Every structure is written in structure tokens, then in C-alpha cells.
């Protein structure tokens, strides 16, 4: 009787010890280092989800790269939606602070991106809820940088930070680290 109780107590203690080690470490890793996410919607076609709803891409989201809020033009990033804080959206960075952007479908023709903000757009113009709808977004809403497509296996690739030439900012204050496309 006493021996079986001892066994239960020991098991319980080991479980608690493992729980308090494994759960915080896993949560911190998923919050700070990297996690994976499934992409839904057609706003980033053809880079992401070219097959539409039949096969959703699964991407690797890298939190560590954006821990200092440093992004480049052309990066595909995920951010908290400014219109719905429960949702994350994944878009491409078109312009950084200080750039002047020629908008598509925004109420102003040209917009200067304020300090601490970025201009994001989906690759599929017209089917994308992006900065052309809600304006520049604050860098504080930046969630992660999408670096690779992990699934389906035939689409396994590294996502390049390339800016389509027609979406280059009209005037930029900061020099990009990448060369001109």
C-alpha cells in the first residue's frame, strides 16, 4: 500500500518537474524563435497558395529575425491585422519609413510612410486586404518573417525578398541592403 502511494507521488513529482521545464521552454521557443503556420487566402498569389483552397502552403515563421524590428523591402512578413487583432495577416513589405509610395486603390495617390511604420501589400493586387485599404502599419504589429515554405513537399523552397520593379517606392530615404532587382 505504502509502496504504491510512493510510486504515485514520485510519478506526480516527475511529471510536474517535466511540465514546468518543457512547457515554458516550448512556449518561449514558439514565441521568440520560430513557428510554423498555414497560409489561407489568395492575397499572396502566386508566391504563396497558388493552388487556392485545394492546398494551403505551410510556411516557417522566423521571430528571431524581427526581434529588433529590422525588415527589408521585399520581405514576406506576418503581422497582427490592424483591423482585427485576433487575426494575423501575411504580406510583402513594399516600403519602409520615409519612403513615398504610389498607392493602388488608396484614397491618396501618394503616401509618405511615417516614422516607425511600413507599407505592406499582397502580391495579388485587387484580392488583397493590405496597406492600400488600411494605410501604413506600425512596426510594433510585426509578428514574424516568413522565410521558407515547408509544405507541400513539391513547393519546398526559400522565400526570396524580391520587390517587383513596378512597386518600387517613388522616393526612398533609407538605402536597401539588397541590390536593385
Please check whether residue 122 is in contact with residue 44, taking contact to mean a CB–CB distance below 8 angstroms: yes
What whole-number distance in Å separates Cα of residue 78 and Cα of residue 89?
5
Q: Which residues from 90-109 bind another protein, rule CB under 8 A?
A: none
Closer Cβ to another protein, 29 or 156, answer by number:
29
Indicate whether 25 belongs to the interface with another protein (CB under 8 A).
Answer: yes
Indicate whether 139 belongs to the interface with another protein (CB under 8 A).
Answer: yes
Indicate whether 7 belongs to the interface with another protein (CB under 8 A).
Answer: no
Q: Catalytic one among 4, 13, 17, 43?
A: 43
| DSSP one-letter string for 52-89 | TTSS--EEEEESGGGTT----TT-EEEEE-SS-TT-EE
What whole-number distance in Å separates Cα of residue 160 and Cα of residue 181?
12
Q: Which residues from 113-132 bind another protein, rule CB under 8 A?
A: 114-117
Please check whether residue 55 is in contact with residue 169, taking contact to mean a CB–CB distance below 8 angstroms: no
Closer Cβ to another protein, 109 or 115, answer by number:
115
Indicate whether 83 belongs to the interface with another protein (CB under 8 A).
Answer: yes
* Dihedral sign (CA 88, 60, 139, 105): negative
Smallest separation, CB 67 to another protein (Å): 10
Nine-digit cell string for 150: 515547408
Catalytic status, residue 88? no
Indicate whether 162 belongs to the interface with another protein (CB under 8 A).
Answer: no
In sequence order, which residues have a C-beta less than 8 Å from that of residue 69 and are 6 or more positions away?
Answer: 139, 140, 142
Indicate whether 19 belongs to the interface with another protein (CB under 8 A).
Answer: no
Indicate whether 82 belongs to the interface with another protein (CB under 8 A).
Answer: yes
Catalytic status, residue 91? yes
What whole-number distance in Å separates Cα of residue 171 and Cα of residue 99?
6
Question: Which of 27, 36, 127, 156 touches another protein by CB under 8 A?
Answer: 27
Catalytic residue numbers? 43, 91
Interacting residue ranges for another protein, rule: CB under 8 A: 20-21, 23-25, 27-29, 31-32, 68-69, 80-86, 114-117, 137-142
Amino acid at each position: 500500500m505504502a509502496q504504491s502511494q510512493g510510486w504515485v507521488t514520485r510519478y506526480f513529482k516527475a511529471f510536474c518537474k517535466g511540465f514546468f521545464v518543457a512547457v515554458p521552454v516550448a512556449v518561449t521557443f514558439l514565441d521568440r524563435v520560430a513557428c510554423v503556420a498555414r497560409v489561407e487566402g489568395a492575397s499572396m498569389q502566386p508566391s504563396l497558395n497558388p493552388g487556392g483552397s485545394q492546398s494551403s502552403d505551410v510556411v516557417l515563421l522566423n521571430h528571431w529575425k524581427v526581434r529588433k524590428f529590422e525588415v527589408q523591402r521585399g520581405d514576406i512578413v506576418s503581422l497582427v491585422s490592424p483591423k482585427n487583432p485576433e487575426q494575423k495577416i501575411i504580406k510583402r513589405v513594399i516600403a519602409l519609413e520615409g519612403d513615398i509610395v504610389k498607392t493602388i486603390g488608396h484614397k491618396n495617390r501618394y503616401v509618405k510612410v511615417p516614422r516607425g511604420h511600413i507599407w505592406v501589400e499582397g502580391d495579388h493586387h485587387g484580392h488583397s486586404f493590405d496597406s492600400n485599404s488600411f494605410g501604413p502599419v506600425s512596426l510594433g504589429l510585426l509578428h514574424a518573417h516568413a522565410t521558407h515554405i515547408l509544405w507541400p513537399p513539391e513547393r519546398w523552397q526559400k522565400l526570396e525578398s524580391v520587390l517587383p520593379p513596378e512597386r518600387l517606392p517613388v522616393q526612398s530615404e533609407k538605402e536597401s541592403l539588397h541590390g536593385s532587382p
